[in-house]
Amino acid sequence: MNYRVNKASLSYHVQNKTILGSDEVLLNKAIDLTGKFNWAEKGFTIEPFYGEDKYISFRKETEQFILSLWKKAGLTIDKDFPLEKYHQLAIDQEVHLAAVEQTKLISTEYFPLGIHQLEERISEICKEQLHVRNPFDNQSVFHFRVIRPHSKDNNPLHRDVWLEDYSDCINLYIPIAGSNIDSSLIIAPGSHRWPESKIERTLSGAEINEIKFNVPAVAKIDGEVEFIRPDPGLNEVLVFSPYLIHGGASNLNNEFTRISIEIRLWKKS
């Protein structure tokens, strides 16, 4: 898969079997939490997150929490260690994978400032009562995404809803450290309304460079596609449809690890 974003050429090669979908538009049979807004056509928006004082507290708690998780993984870290320099500690894959195990599938009981604060703010943005609880398995979790410079840490391009337990939700990308125009999440605006027949994808979880991913990966897209990095700033949140093609977010910075929070919300029943 070859693609361009911000004049940079990126690529990956899938190693497993691929399929071409039908003319079905998956969003047409889904709960579309973007549908009532002026950003519905592109499928995403960047919004202010918390008030200034609340955000300062959120940042402090988040940084302390990440450092504690890395220490639990066996990394030796000073209390004032800058998060964006993580790659200086995780210099080999074994150390990095140990850290990743601590920073994924985290119960929302540990979410900085409390999960209800986030649920309240995103419900306000989406004008729906939302919560972080997956109706498929009743899980309430979040992840830290940690992408080292010029690494293979990132997922390939995909739709979240190719995994059945991520339908009907809304996705958040919350930048924490090292997130900028060269590292933030990549998306294809409007792709949440594409038919499956426009996309060739892997039949199951992708295999790329001997690395296996849970999510199927885009192998080819019919026609020209404009990929962008929306690049939310500090105290901003990227809110986007899980039906969008996104991912493939190689970190092109030389000196900064990119760290973000990934979390999903569903409509309360």
pLDDT at residue 209 above 90?
A: no
How many domains are contained in the chain? Answer: 1
Indicate which CATH number applies to the domain containing 250. Answer: 2.60.120.620
107 burial (CB, 10 Å; 0-12 / 13-18 / 19+) is: exposed
Angle at which helices 52-72 and 93-102 pack, to 10 degrees?
Answer: 130
Which runs of E-coded beta strand occur in 36-118?
A: 44-48, 106-107
Can you say whether the dihedral through the CA atoms of 183, 173, 241, 38 is positive or negative? negative
Q: What is the DSSP string of 237-256?
A: EEEE-TTS-B-------SS-
How do residues 94-105 score in pLDDT, each as one tens digit?
A: 999 999 999 999
How do residues 23-49 score in pLDDT, each as one tens digit?
A: 999 999 999 999 999 999 999 999 999
Taking the complete model, does pTM exceed 0.85, yes or no? yes
Residue 174 structural domain = 2-267
User: Distance between CA 106 and CA 126 in Å, rounded?
Assistant: 24
pLDDT at residue 269 above 90?
A: no
